[in-house]
Amino acid sequence: MELKAPSLRQLKSIVKKFSSSNMIVVGDTMIDEYFWGDVQRISPEAPVPVVAVESVTRRLGGAANVVQNLVRLGVNTSLLSLCGNDENGRLLLEMLSEAKCDTSGVHQSPNRPTSIKTRIIARQQQVVRADREKIGDLDDDENAALIAAFNREIVQADGVIISDYGKGVISPEFITPIIEKCNADGKFIAIDPKDRHMHLYKGASIITPNLKEAHVLLGRPYHHCSDREVEQLGWQIIDDYNLQYLLITLSERGMALFEKENRRFRHLPTVAQKVFDVTGAGDTVISVFSAAITAGSSPFEAAYLANHAAGITVAQLGTASVTPEELLAACG
């Protein structure tokens, strides 16, 4: 049965309320660095292309990209994270401030560098990626600083997004009290998952895995699924993790939305017209869905908006975000 799209009038009403939402983003931040250029020859030193770099751009990545998505939507957003006490850390904080994000909850650590992912792009194709980072759990003082910041911020927040990139910010000592506090206070909590922490996500409002991550949540080997198998997989995750909702992203097949209440399943076909780069698409999905839910939308309306937002961002190279006007134009 074909799904009936929400009315544009209703979607406009939801998007208008984004500015009244207050969201906390918790997770690993990084800088996405892009070297743009062209290849004219092969190196005489090794059989690799020589990229003549023409320009360099730097964008917010990881949890910081979630922040950027929310802020562009008009959501009042604060970030709880960690970066290095280094030049790139200062650059990251400057970029966040320019994006109008509250950075008082970002701890600068002397124990690790700011994470940077450098991508070299030639003629719109990624040639190589180089990561500069230190992966490992935070120390007791760093955890304590972030928990203290969370306890301050949660009072005014409508919801929390945990953006887990597996770099160290998310740990049992940090995520468990966050989920417990959100549930006790009736706050919405959304999680973009990572393999190493799947066991920590029980009790969240929603998890937004891709199909591979959905298999990992159940400890199953990944394989391409039929629509029926996706539905069975989703209900098992809902039950095992005690979720209100589950949104599985299915790449070119769109999204699968599960609602615990009334045991409702809906498949949303993709709306992307062209796909250049899926980098950061998951950040856009969880940002738009969370903004809509905290603005009073139904889960289907939230997923509908998130699906259209993802269709916009995957048509661009690198991490991207959408404005309310762009989102509504795509839905119209």
How many whole angstroms separate alpha carbon 233 and alpha carbon 226? 10
The pLDDT value given to residue 125? 87
Q: Which of 6-15, 46-55, 232-241, 315-324 has the lowest mean pLDDT?
A: 315-324
Catalytic residue, from 32, 164, 192, 283: name it. 283
- pLDDT band (50, 70, 90) for residue 188: very high
For residue range 117-143, what is the model confidence (pLDDT) as tens digits?
999 999 888 999 999 999 998 999 999
Q: What is the pLDDT of residue 273?
A: 57
Q: Which of the four pLDDT bands, split at 50, 70 and 90, describes residue 100?
A: confident
At residue 1 the predicted structure's pLDDT band, cuts being 50, 70 and 90, is very low
Residues 67-83: what's their mean pLDDT? 94
192 is catalytic: no
Which domains are assigned to the chain? 8-31+60-116+132-331 (3.40.1190.20)
The region of weakest confidence among 61-70, 104-113, 207-216, 321-330 is 321-330
Question: Does the pLDDT value for residue 196 go beyond 90?
Answer: no
Cα separation, 156 vs 207, in Å, equals 23
User: Where do the DSSP E strands lie in the chain?
Assistant: 22-27, 29-42, 49-62, 76-84, 106-109, 116-122, 125-132, 159-163, 188-192, 206-207, 245-249, 255-259, 264-268
Q: For residues 18-37, give the mean pLDDT.
A: 95
What is the structure's pLDDT at 277?
47
